[in-house]
Structure 1
Amino acid sequence: MEKERQALQTWKDRVAKELDSVVAFWLQHSHDREHGGFFTCLGRNGQVYDDLKYVWLQGRQVWMYCRLYRNFERFRRAEILDAAKAGGEFLLRFARVAPPAKKCAFVLTRDGRPMKVQRTIFSECFYTIAMNELWRVTKETCYQNEAVEMMDQIIHWVREDPAGLGRPQLSGTLATEPMAVPMMLLSLVEQLGEEDEELSSKYTELGEWCAHRILQHVQRDGQVVLENVSEDGKELSGCLGRHQNPGHTLEAGWFLLQYAVRKDDPKLRTYIIDKFLLLPFHSGWDPEHGGLFYFQDADGLCPTQLEWDMKLWWPHSEAMIAFLMGYSDSGDPALLKLFNQVAEYTFRHFRDPDFGEWFGYLNREGKVTLTIKGGPFKGCFHVPRCLAMCEQILEALLCRLQPDPVV
Structure 2
Amino acid sequence: MNKIKCRALLGFYENELTNNLLYFWKDACLDKEYGGYLNCYDNMGKQLVSYDKYTWSMGRFVWMWSKLAMMKGKTFNQSQKNEFLALAKNGRDFLMQHCLMGKNDWRCVFLMERDGTPKKVEGWDVLDMSVYADCFVVAGIGKYAEAANDRKAYAFAKQLFLSLINRIESGSFHTLPYPLSPRFRAHGIPMILTNVIKELHGASEKMDLGFIPTLLTHLKQYSDDILG
Shorter-chain-normalised TM-score: which range? 0.7 to 0.9
Query: How does 1:32-71 map onto structure 2 within 5 Å?
Result: 32-43=31-42, 44-71=44-71
Residue in 2 aligned with 1:88?
A: 92
Residue in 2 aligned with 1:187?
A: 195
Q: Deviations over 1:123-148 (max 9, x none)?
A: 11111112112212222211000011
Larger Rg: 1 or 2?
Answer: 1
Query: How does 1:321-340 map onto structure 2 within 5 Å?
Result: none
Residue in 2 aligned with 1:17?
A: 15
Counterpart secondary structure, 2:185? strand
Alpha carbons 1:192, 1:199 under 8 Å: kept: no
Shift of 1:69: 0.7
Alignment of 1:30 onto 2:40 = no
Q: Deviations over 1:154-177 (max 9, x none)?
A: 111112x233x368xxxxx52421
Distance (Å, rounded) in 1 between the aligned partners of 2:160 and 2:26: 28
Alpha carbons 1:189, 1:200 under 8 Å: kept: no
Residue in 2 aligned with 1:152?
A: 162
Distance (Å, rounded) in 2 between the aligned partners of 1:45 and 1:191: 29
Moved over 6 A (4+): none
Q: Deviations over 1:189-245 (max 9, x none)?
A: 2112237154432211211111111123xxxxxxxxxxxxxxxxxxxxxxxxxxxxx
Alpha carbons 2:109, 2:129 under 8 Å: kept: no
Q: CA distance change for structure 1 residues 13 and 198 in 2, over 3 Å: closer, same or farther?
A: farther
Query: How does 1:221-236 map onto structure 2 within 5 Å?
Result: none
Alpha carbons 1:29, 1:46 under 8 Å: kept: no
Alpha carbons 2:92, 2:144 under 8 Å: kept: yes
Distance (Å, rounded) in 2 between the aligned partners of 1:122 and 1:46: 29
Q: Which amino acid aligns with 2:14?
A: A
Counterpart secondary structure, 2:32? coil
Shift of 1:85: 0.9
Q: CA distance change for structure 1 residues 192 and 93 in 2, over 3 Å: closer, same or farther?
A: same
- Which deviates more from structure 2 when the two are superposed, residues 98-107 or residues 18-27? 98-107
Shift of 1:51: 0.6
Alpha carbons 1:25, 1:46 under 8 Å: kept: no
Alpha carbons 1:194, 1:200 under 8 Å: kept: no
Distance (Å, rounded) in 1 between the aligned partners of 2:91 and 2:77: 17
Alpha carbons 2:53, 2:113 under 8 Å: kept: yes
**Count of residue correspondences:** 207
Counterpart secondary structure, 2:119? strand
Counterpart secondary structure, 1:103? strand
Alpha carbons 1:192, 1:200 under 8 Å: kept: no
Distance (Å, rounded) in 1 between the aligned partners of 2:148 and 2:26: 20
Distance (Å, rounded) in 2 between the aligned partners of 1:124 and 1:75: 32
Distance (Å, rounded) in 1 between the aligned partners of 2:98 and 2:38: 15
Q: Which amino acid aligns with 1:16?
A: E
Alignment of 1:200 onto 2:212 = yes
Q: Which amino acid aligns with 1:193?
A: H
Counterpart secondary structure, 1:37? coil
Counterpart secondary structure, 1:97? strand
Q: CA distance change for structure 1 residues 194 and 135 in 2, over 3 Å: closer, same or farther?
A: closer
Residue in 2 aligned with 1:369?
A: none
Counterpart secondary structure, 1:34? coil
Shift of 1:113: 0.6
Alignment of 1:162 onto 2:166 = no
Distance (Å, rounded) in 2 between the aligned partners of 1:75 and 1:61: 20
Distance (Å, rounded) in 1 between the aligned partners of 2:184 and 2:114: 35
Alpha carbons 2:107, 2:160 under 8 Å: kept: no
Which sections of structure 2, spanning at least 5 residues, go unmatched? 121-126, 176-180
Counterpart secondary structure, 1:212? helix
Q: Which amino acid aligns with 2:37?
A: F
Q: Deviations over 1:64-114 (max 9, x none)?
A: 001001114516424322221111111111111134331111110111110
Shift of 1:48: 1.1
Distance (Å, rounded) in 2 between the aligned partners of 1:75 and 1:111: 33
Residue in 2 aligned with 1:381?
A: none
TM-score, normalised relative to structure 1? 0.48
